[in-house]
Chains A and B, each alone.
Chain A
Amino acid sequence: EAGVTQFPSHSVIEKGQTVTLRCDPISGHDNLYWYRRVMGKEIKFLLHFVKESKQDESGMPNNRFLAERTGGTYSTLKVQPAELEDSGVYFCASSQDLNKAFYGYTFGSGTRLTVV
Protein backbone atom coordinates (compact mmCIF):
# COMPACT_ATOMS: atom_id res chain seq x y z
CA GLU A 1 0.00 0.00 0.00
CA ALA A 2 1.45 3.36 -1.00
CA GLY A 3 1.74 5.87 1.79
CA VAL A 4 0.77 9.53 1.87
CA THR A 5 2.68 11.34 -0.86
CA GLN A 6 3.49 15.03 -0.86
CA PHE A 7 4.84 17.20 -3.67
CA PRO A 8 7.19 18.97 -3.81
CA SER A 9 9.49 17.90 -1.00
CA HIS A 10 11.11 21.33 -0.95
CA SER A 11 10.08 24.72 -2.29
CA VAL A 12 11.90 28.03 -2.10
CA ILE A 13 9.92 31.06 -3.22
CA GLU A 14 10.14 34.79 -2.88
CA LYS A 15 7.83 36.78 -0.66
CA GLY A 16 4.71 37.69 -2.59
CA GLN A 17 4.80 34.67 -4.87
CA THR A 18 2.30 31.84 -4.97
CA VAL A 19 3.02 28.25 -4.06
CA THR A 20 0.80 25.18 -4.33
CA LEU A 21 1.46 22.09 -2.28
CA ARG A 22 -0.06 18.76 -3.19
CA CYS A 23 -1.00 15.76 -1.11
CA ASP A 24 -2.06 12.32 -2.29
CA PRO A 25 -3.57 10.40 0.60
CA ILE A 26 -3.62 6.65 0.97
CA SER A 27 -6.14 5.24 -1.47
CA GLY A 28 -9.55 4.85 0.13
CA HIS A 29 -8.86 7.23 3.00
CA ASP A 30 -11.75 9.67 3.19
CA ASN A 31 -10.10 11.82 5.84
CA LEU A 32 -7.29 14.14 4.89
CA TYR A 33 -5.54 16.59 7.20
CA TRP A 34 -3.05 19.39 6.77
CA TYR A 35 -0.64 20.34 9.53
CA ARG A 36 2.30 22.72 9.69
CA ARG A 37 5.47 22.87 11.76
CA VAL A 38 7.10 26.27 11.93
CA MET A 39 10.67 26.89 13.13
CA GLY A 40 10.99 23.62 15.05
CA LYS A 41 7.95 24.35 17.15
CA GLU A 42 4.83 22.26 17.63
CA ILE A 43 3.02 20.66 14.74
CA LYS A 44 -0.14 22.71 14.27
CA PHE A 45 -3.43 21.63 12.74
CA LEU A 46 -4.58 23.53 9.69
CA LEU A 47 -7.66 21.74 8.41
CA HIS A 48 -9.50 18.46 7.93
CA PHE A 49 -11.33 17.18 4.86
CA VAL A 50 -13.88 14.41 4.83
CA LYS A 51 -13.95 13.42 1.19
CA GLU A 52 -14.25 16.75 -0.61
CA SER A 53 -15.86 18.65 2.27
CA LYS A 54 -14.02 20.79 4.79
CA GLN A 55 -14.90 19.31 8.16
CA ASP A 56 -12.78 21.65 10.24
CA GLU A 57 -10.71 24.57 8.99
CA SER A 58 -10.23 26.24 12.35
CA GLY A 59 -6.44 26.12 12.06
CA MET A 60 -6.09 27.98 8.78
CA PRO A 61 -4.04 31.08 9.68
CA ASN A 62 -5.62 33.58 7.27
CA ASN A 63 -7.24 33.97 3.88
CA ARG A 64 -3.91 33.72 2.05
CA PHE A 65 -4.24 29.97 2.51
CA LEU A 66 -6.66 28.02 0.32
CA ALA A 67 -7.12 24.26 0.54
CA GLU A 68 -9.07 22.19 -1.92
CA ARG A 69 -9.88 18.55 -2.38
CA THR A 70 -11.85 18.27 -5.57
CA GLY A 71 -13.32 14.83 -6.12
CA GLY A 72 -12.31 13.71 -2.67
CA THR A 73 -8.95 12.34 -3.77
CA TYR A 74 -5.80 14.45 -3.69
CA SER A 75 -5.66 17.84 -2.00
CA THR A 76 -3.85 21.07 -2.71
CA LEU A 77 -2.86 23.83 -0.35
CA LYS A 78 -2.19 27.16 -2.01
CA VAL A 79 -0.47 30.07 -0.31
CA GLN A 80 -1.00 33.36 -2.10
CA PRO A 81 0.78 35.68 -1.60
CA ALA A 82 3.42 33.97 0.50
CA GLU A 83 4.91 35.80 3.48
CA LEU A 84 8.13 35.12 5.37
CA GLU A 85 6.25 33.67 8.36
CA ASP A 86 4.72 30.99 6.13
CA SER A 87 8.06 29.18 6.06
CA GLY A 88 7.92 25.77 7.66
CA VAL A 89 7.21 22.14 6.97
CA TYR A 90 3.70 21.35 5.77
CA PHE A 91 2.52 17.86 6.56
CA CYS A 92 -0.42 16.04 5.10
CA ALA A 93 -1.99 13.04 6.80
CA SER A 94 -4.84 10.70 6.05
CA SER A 95 -7.01 8.21 7.89
CA GLN A 96 -9.67 5.75 6.85
CA ASP A 97 -12.25 6.59 9.45
CA LEU A 98 -12.92 8.87 12.39
CA ASN A 99 -12.67 6.26 15.10
CA LYS A 100 -10.14 7.66 17.53
CA ALA A 101 -9.58 4.30 19.16
CA PHE A 102 -7.14 3.48 16.39
CA TYR A 103 -3.58 3.77 15.33
CA GLY A 104 -3.45 7.45 14.48
CA TYR A 105 -3.04 9.18 11.16
CA THR A 106 -0.51 8.27 8.51
CA PHE A 107 1.62 11.29 7.73
CA GLY A 108 3.46 12.16 4.57
CA SER A 109 7.09 13.23 4.60
CA GLY A 110 6.13 16.88 4.34
CA THR A 111 6.91 19.81 2.09
CA ARG A 112 9.57 22.17 3.38
CA LEU A 113 8.57 25.67 2.31
CA THR A 114 11.06 28.49 2.53
CA VAL A 115 9.91 32.02 1.77
CA VAL A 116 12.77 34.45 1.18
Chain B
Amino acid sequence: DQQVKQNSPSLSVQEGRISILNCDYTNSMFDYFLWYKKYPAEGPTFLISISSIKDKNEDGRFTVFLNKSAKHLSLHIVPSQPGDSAVYFCAASAIGTYKYIFGTGTRLKVLA
Protein backbone atom coordinates (compact mmCIF):
# COMPACT_ATOMS: atom_id res chain seq x y z
CA ASP B 1 0.00 0.00 0.00
CA GLN B 2 1.73 3.09 -1.28
CA GLN B 3 1.24 6.08 1.02
CA VAL B 4 2.91 8.55 -1.34
CA LYS B 5 2.02 8.44 -5.01
CA GLN B 6 3.42 10.19 -8.03
CA ASN B 7 1.10 9.16 -10.81
CA SER B 8 3.00 10.75 -13.66
CA PRO B 9 6.15 8.78 -14.45
CA SER B 10 7.37 11.43 -16.88
CA LEU B 11 6.83 15.02 -17.96
CA SER B 12 8.25 17.10 -20.81
CA VAL B 13 8.24 20.88 -20.74
CA GLN B 14 9.67 23.59 -22.96
CA GLU B 15 12.49 25.68 -21.57
CA GLY B 16 11.15 28.84 -19.94
CA ARG B 17 7.72 27.36 -19.25
CA ILE B 18 6.33 26.17 -15.93
CA SER B 19 6.85 22.59 -14.77
CA ILE B 20 4.26 21.21 -12.37
CA LEU B 21 4.98 17.94 -10.62
CA ASN B 22 2.26 16.36 -8.53
CA CYS B 23 2.16 14.09 -5.53
CA ASP B 24 -0.72 12.54 -3.58
CA TYR B 25 -0.60 10.99 -0.14
CA THR B 26 -2.91 8.98 2.04
CA ASN B 27 -1.55 9.32 5.58
CA SER B 28 -3.02 12.26 7.49
CA MET B 29 -0.25 11.90 10.09
CA PHE B 30 2.42 13.23 7.73
CA ASP B 31 3.83 16.47 9.13
CA TYR B 32 6.66 17.22 6.71
CA PHE B 33 6.93 16.90 2.98
CA LEU B 34 10.04 17.20 0.86
CA TRP B 35 10.99 17.19 -2.78
CA TYR B 36 14.26 15.65 -3.89
CA LYS B 37 15.92 15.86 -7.29
CA LYS B 38 17.99 13.00 -8.63
CA TYR B 39 20.42 12.93 -11.54
CA PRO B 40 21.58 9.59 -13.01
CA ALA B 41 24.25 7.80 -10.97
CA GLU B 42 23.89 10.30 -8.13
CA GLY B 43 22.04 10.26 -4.86
CA PRO B 44 18.87 12.31 -4.35
CA THR B 45 19.50 15.96 -3.53
CA PHE B 46 17.20 17.93 -1.27
CA LEU B 47 15.28 20.61 -3.12
CA ILE B 48 12.56 22.12 -0.95
CA SER B 49 10.35 21.20 2.00
CA ILE B 50 7.06 22.21 3.54
CA SER B 51 5.53 21.71 6.95
CA SER B 52 1.95 20.52 7.22
CA ILE B 53 1.03 23.77 8.97
CA LYS B 54 1.79 25.74 5.80
CA ASP B 55 0.25 25.69 2.37
CA LYS B 56 3.09 27.21 0.37
CA ASN B 57 6.85 27.47 0.48
CA GLU B 58 8.96 29.25 -2.08
CA ASP B 59 12.67 29.13 -2.83
CA GLY B 60 13.77 30.94 -5.95
CA ARG B 61 12.32 29.22 -9.00
CA PHE B 62 10.83 26.43 -6.88
CA THR B 63 7.51 26.60 -5.05
CA VAL B 64 5.78 23.79 -3.23
CA PHE B 65 2.04 23.91 -2.59
CA LEU B 66 0.27 21.76 -0.03
CA ASN B 67 -3.47 21.07 -0.08
CA LYS B 68 -4.16 19.09 3.08
CA SER B 69 -7.85 18.60 2.46
CA ALA B 70 -7.05 16.97 -0.87
CA LYS B 71 -3.90 15.29 0.47
CA HIS B 72 -2.04 16.68 -2.48
CA LEU B 73 1.16 18.59 -3.00
CA SER B 74 2.77 19.98 -6.07
CA LEU B 75 6.13 21.39 -7.07
CA HIS B 76 6.21 24.32 -9.49
CA ILE B 77 9.39 25.23 -11.32
CA VAL B 78 9.32 28.59 -13.05
CA PRO B 79 10.98 29.15 -15.43
CA SER B 80 12.09 25.64 -16.29
CA GLN B 81 15.69 25.21 -17.44
CA PRO B 82 17.40 22.30 -19.23
CA GLY B 83 19.50 21.70 -16.09
CA ASP B 84 16.27 20.90 -14.24
CA SER B 85 15.96 17.68 -16.25
CA ALA B 86 16.10 14.95 -13.58
CA VAL B 87 13.90 12.57 -11.63
CA TYR B 88 11.92 14.32 -8.89
CA PHE B 89 10.83 12.44 -5.79
CA CYS B 90 8.15 13.52 -3.38
CA ALA B 91 8.69 12.32 0.20
CA ALA B 92 6.73 12.56 3.45
CA SER B 93 7.43 11.93 7.10
CA ALA B 94 4.90 11.16 9.83
CA ILE B 95 4.70 12.79 13.24
CA GLY B 96 7.13 11.16 15.67
CA THR B 97 9.17 9.41 12.99
CA TYR B 98 12.31 10.43 11.15
CA LYS B 99 12.06 8.23 8.13
CA TYR B 100 10.69 9.42 4.83
CA ILE B 101 8.20 7.65 2.59
CA PHE B 102 9.07 8.31 -1.03
CA GLY B 103 7.01 8.26 -4.16
CA THR B 104 8.16 6.47 -7.31
CA GLY B 105 9.45 9.64 -8.93
CA THR B 106 8.61 11.72 -11.99
CA ARG B 107 11.17 12.12 -14.74
CA LEU B 108 11.20 15.73 -15.92
CA LYS B 109 12.66 16.60 -19.27
CA VAL B 110 13.08 20.28 -20.10
CA LEU B 111 13.43 20.80 -23.82
CA ALA B 112 15.71 23.55 -25.06
Which of B12-20, B43-51, B63-71 lies on the face that meets chain A? B43-51
Take A42-B4, A48-B98, A100-B98 as given contacts and tell me if A105 and B46 are in contact as well, using a CB distance cutoff of 8 Å.
yes
Total A-B residue contacts, Cβ distance less than 8 Å: 61
Q: Is B93 a contact of A100 with CB atoms below 8 Å?
A: yes
Partner of A107, one of B32, B45, B51: B45
A43 adjacent to B98 (CB under 8 Å): no
Residues of A contacting B: mostly: loop
Given the known interface contacts A59-B99, A103-B46, A109-B43, the answer about A42 and B31 at a Cβ–Cβ threshold of 8 Å is no
Does the CB pair B102–A110 fall under 8 Å? no
Interfacial residues of chain A within 3-56, with CB under 8 A of chain B in the complex: 4, 31, 33, 35, 40-45, 48, 55-56
Number of interface residues of A (CB under 8 A): 29
With CB as the reference atom, state the residue of chain B lying closest to A6.
B43
B104/A41 in contact, CB under 8 A:
yes
> What is B's interface to A at a CB cutoff of 8 Å?
2, 4, 31-32, 34, 36, 41-46, 49, 51, 89, 91, 93, 97-105
Query: Can you give 24 A-B contacts (C-beta < 8 A)?
Result: A4-B43, A35-B102, A40-B104, A40-B105, A41-B104, A42-B2, A42-B102, A42-B103, A43-B44, A43-B91, A45-B101, A55-B98, A56-B99, A58-B99, A93-B43, A100-B98, A101-B51, A104-B34, A104-B36, A104-B46, A107-B36, A107-B43, A109-B41, A109-B43
